Amino acid sequence: MDSDSKVFVVSSDLCSGCRNCEIWCGFITGKRRGFAPDAGHIHLHSDMEGKLNIPELDCSGICERNEVGEPICVEMCPTGCLIFTNREDFERKRTSWEKARRVQPVFKLIVPWKYPYPWRELRKEEL
């Protein structure tokens, strides 16, 4: 990853398997005529044991973006496990996520920047 170009990064341990990314990608790819997950550029697989959800992309971020530059698959991902980012932003996000999940267990399920409402660190005895 160079410092400017953006790539997709997936944190499979946070992927819930909801398939929102597939559904919305198929909707955009199909020119908004209906939901067609098979027609999209992202598809959900699982690991050999069937325990881990693994979104696989055949895409370089080609479709329309929202006001903060996210493609719809990223915007609609409820856990934030799918991001489209450059190296600087990725490193900043990874650092904030690692710190947040040590003090607030909810960030073992979602990323801290996805829903930017105030959250508090738990005390040691609450963890």
- Spell out, one character per residue from 81 to 110, where the chain touches ligand SF4: x when CB under 6 A holds, - when not: xx----------------------------
Report how many residues bind ligand SF4 under the rule CB under 6 A.
29
Half-sphere exposure of 9 (CA within 13 A, CB side): 16
CA atoms within 13 A on the CB side of 30: 15
Contact residue for ligand SF4 among 9, 36, 39, 79 (CB under 6 A): 79
Span of 30-38, 55-63, 98-106, 119-127 interacting with ligand SF4 by CB under 6 A: 55-63
Residue from the set 6, 37, 53, 100 that interacts with ligand SF4 by CB under 6 A:
53
What pairing do the DSSP bridges indicate for beta strands 53-57 and 7-10? Answer: unpaired
Amino acid identity, residue 6?
Answer: K
**CA dist 95 → 5, 88, 118, 121, 123 (Å):** 20, 11, 18, 16, 20
Task: Check binding of 37 to ligand SF4 (CB under 6 A).
Answer: no
Phi, psi at residue 46, to the nearest 5°? Answer: -130, 165
Single residue of 9, 63, 103, 109 touching ligand SF4 by CB under 6 A = 63
- What is the C-alpha end-to-end distance of the chain, expressed in Å? 35
Q: Per CB under 6 A, does 28 bind ligand SF4?
A: yes
**Residues interacting with ligand SF4, by CB under 6 A?**
15-21, 25, 28-29, 40-42, 44, 53, 55, 57, 59, 61-63, 71-73, 77-79, 81-82
